[in-house]
C-alpha cells in the first residue's frame, strides 16, 4: 500500500520533465528493437527427415507472412502464405506438398530431399503496410546409409547457416 504522501508527490512532477522523457524513451526503443531472425532446426538435415525454419523475434502487428523459394520475392515462387486476421493459410505455386506454414510464421518441411537445399525468403507485411524480408538457408545432406562419406562431409559443414537479408520498403 502506498502512503497518501506518494500520491501527493506524483502530482508535483514538472510537466517539462515528462515531455523530455518521451523522446528519450522512443530513441531507446529504436536502439533496442530486436531484428527478426530465422533458425533452421536442424542446421543440416539428413535427406528424408523434417526441417523447421523457426522465425524468432517478430515484433509489431503483422498482417501476414509468405514464404518464397529462393532469395527473391516472386509470385511464382510462393510456397505458402498465412493471414493473421482470419488465421488462414494458402499454398502457392512453389509448394511441393511437404511444407506447412504455422501461424507464427515458421515453416515446416517434411521428408526433405537434397533438392530442397537452398535459400528461402520470408516476407512479412505489417499493419502499417511496411514490409520486411529475411532469407534463410536450408541444407540437406544424403543419409550416411545411402550417401557414403561424401554425404557426411557435406553434413559436417559447420557454422551458422542463416543468411539475413533485411530490407524494409514501403508498398
Ligand atoms: C511456431 O509454431 C510451431 C508449431 O506450433 C512450433 O513448433 C514453433 O516452436 C513455434 N515457433 C516459435 C519461435 O515459437
Ligand atoms: C519421402 O520422399 C521420398 C521421395 O523423395 C519418397 O519415396 C518417400 O515415400 C517419402 N516418405 C514419406 C514418409 O513421405
Expressed in angstroms and rounded, the spacing between residue 52 Cα and the centre of ligand 1 is: 9
Is the residue at 2 inside a domain?
A: no
91 confidence band (pLDDT: 50, 70, 90): very high
pTM of the model: 0.69
Return the residue whose CA atom lies nearest to atom 9 of ligand 1. 54
CA nearest to 41, candidates 33, 50, 31: 50
- pLDDT the model gives residue 57: 87
**Into how many domains does the chain fold?**
1
Highest mean pLDDT among 21-30, 97-106, 156-165: 97-106
- pLDDT the model gives residue 90: 97
- pLDDT the model gives residue 149: 43
Is the C-beta atom of 111 inside 6 A of ligand 2? yes
CA nearest to 138, candidates 58, 48, 77, 70: 70
170 confidence band (pLDDT: 50, 70, 90): very low
- pLDDT the model gives residue 12: 53
pLDDT in tens, 118-150: 999 999 999 888 899 999 999 999 876 654 444
Radius of gyration, alpha carbons of the chain: 22
Residue 71 reports pLDDT greater than 50: yes
Is the residue at 8 inside a domain?
A: no
Residue 155 reports pLDDT greater than 50: no
Going along 61-143, which residue ranges are E strands? 62-69, 78-83, 88-91, 99-101, 107-109, 118-126, 130-141
Domain holding 50, by residue range, is 38-170
> Cβ(95)–Cβ(133) under 8 Å?
no
Proportion of the chain above pLDDT 90, given as a percent: 56
The CATH number of whichever domain residue 45 belongs to comes to 2.60.40.10
Is the residue at 5 inside a domain?
A: no
15 vs 23, 25, 157, CA distance in Å? Answer: 14, 16, 59
Q: Give the ligand at the shortest distance from the Cα of 52.
A: 1
Using DSSP bridges, classify how beta strands 44-46 and 118-126 pair: parallel, antiparallel or unpaired. Answer: unpaired
Is the residue at 19 inside a domain?
A: no
Residue 86 reports pLDDT greater than 80: yes
Mean pLDDT in the chain? 77
Lowest mean pLDDT among 6-10, 21-25, 27-31, 56-60: 6-10
- pLDDT the model gives residue 143: 75
Ligand 1: which of 36, 40, 50, 52 to mutate, most ligand atoms within 8 Å of CB? 52
Is the residue at 65 inside a domain?
A: yes
d(CA 74, CA 144): 35
Amino acid at each position: 500500500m502506498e502512503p497518501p504522501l506518494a500520491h501527493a508527490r506524483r502530482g508535483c512532477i514538472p510537466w517539462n520533465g515528462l515531455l523530455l522523457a518521451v523522446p528519450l524513451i522512443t530513441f531507446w526503443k529504436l536502439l533496442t528493437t530486436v531484428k527478426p531472425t530465422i533458425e533452421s532446426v536442424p542446421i543440416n538435415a539428413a535427406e528424408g527427415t523434417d526441417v523447421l525454419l523457426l522465425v524468432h523475434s517478430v515484433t509489431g502487428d503483422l498482417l501476414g507472412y509468405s514464404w518464397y523459394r529462393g532469395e527473391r520475392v516472386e509470385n511464382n515462387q510462393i510456397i505458402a502464405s498465412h493471414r493473421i486476421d482470419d488465421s488462414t493459410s494458402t499454398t502457392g505455386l512453389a509448394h511441393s506438398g511437404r511444407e506447412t506454414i504455422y501461424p507464427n510464421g515458421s515453416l515446416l518441411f517434411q521428408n526433405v530431399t537434397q533438392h530442397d537445399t537452398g535459400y528461402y525468403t520470408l516476407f512479412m507485411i505489417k499493419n502499417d503496410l511496411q514490409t520486411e524480408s529475411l532469407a534463410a538457408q536450408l541444407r540437406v545432406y544424403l543419409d550416411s546409409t545411402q550417401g557414403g562419406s561424401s554425404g557426411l562431409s557435406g553434413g559436417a559443414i559447420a557454422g551458422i547457416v542463416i543468411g539475413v537479408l533485411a530490407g524494409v520498403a514501403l508498398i
